């Protein structure tokens, strides 16, 4: 029984970091949070973890969205889709994690407010 326990402990030590263990860059708020972003102004998104997405806007401002609940596999997959009826993505909308390997759609998760921030690296 002892060799099995040792093997399990050794495996835990060398296991890669999970998406939950990824370090989210610290950020300093630079203004009040907003409910929506204009999608035509979004330049790029950066999935930081299962609950944090940074939206980089065309003007280089960053709007951090901290989801109200953790979204399983979002930090691992680092990609998501959304469907909206207007040109805005809002805190009442949901995203769907896109799973690799053609496994179909992943979890569907609600967004939070969009907080303007400065990333402190």
The predicted-structure confidence for 28-86, as pLDDT tens digits, reads as follows 999 999 999 999 999 999 999 999 999 999 999 999 999 999 999 999 999 999 999 99
CA 106 to chain centre: 14
* C-alpha span between 121 and 37 (Å, rounded): 24
Residue 53 contacts residue 42 (beta carbons within 8 Å): no
Residue 33: inside a domain: yes
Average confidence (pLDDT) over 14-29? 68
Residue 8 lies in a domain: no
pTM across the whole model: 0.81
For residues 97 and 80, is the Cβ–Cβ distance under 8 A? yes
**Overall domain count for the chain:** 1
The domain of 70 spans 19-119
The answer to whether residue 63 sits within a structural domain is yes
- Beta strand 94-98 pairing with 42-47: unpaired
């Amino acid at each position: 029984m002892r060799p099995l326990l040792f093997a399990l402990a050794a495996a835990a030590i060398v296991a890669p970091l999970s998406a939950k263990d990824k370090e989210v860059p610290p950020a300093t708020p630079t203004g009040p949070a907003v409910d929506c972003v204009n999608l035509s102004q979004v330049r790029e998104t950066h999935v930081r973890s299962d609950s944090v997405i940074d939206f980089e806007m065309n003007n280089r401002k960053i709007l951090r969205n901290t989801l109200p609940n953790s979204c399983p596999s979002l930090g691992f997959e680092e990609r998501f889709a959304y469907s909206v009826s207007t040109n805005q993505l809002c805190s009442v909308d949901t995203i769907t994690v896109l799973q690799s390997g053609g496994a179909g759609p992943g979890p569907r998760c609600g967004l939070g407010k969009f907080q303007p921030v400065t990333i402190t690296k």
